[in-house]
Homo-oligomer: A and B are copies of this chain.
């Protein structure tokens, strides 16, 4: 009965990609630990780039510099 939380920046993740992430993580836990897919929960959080910091600056700022 695993619970997995995936946090990524909110930059256009599609419904199809979310399905792929959910399928992939569920299969991985079944494959590695024998966990039952029926009771595997996966929650994806999409975080605004203003609200995610790496190296002391926001991802918004990092994206702007690399733009």
The chain A residues found within 8 Å of chain B, CB to CB, are 1-9, 13, 15, 17-29, 31-33, 35, 37-47, 50-61
Contacts and interface: CB of A to CB of B under 8 A. Distances in A.
Contacts of A7: 2-4, 43
A2 B47 CA distance: 10
A58 B60 CA distance: 29
14 contacts: A1-B9, A1-B52, A4-B4, A4-B7, A15-B60, A17-B33, A19-B61, A22-B58, A26-B56, A38-B55, A40-B53, A41-B53, A42-B53, A45-B47
Given A15-B50, A33-B8, A56 B23 contact: yes
A20 B39 CA distance: 20
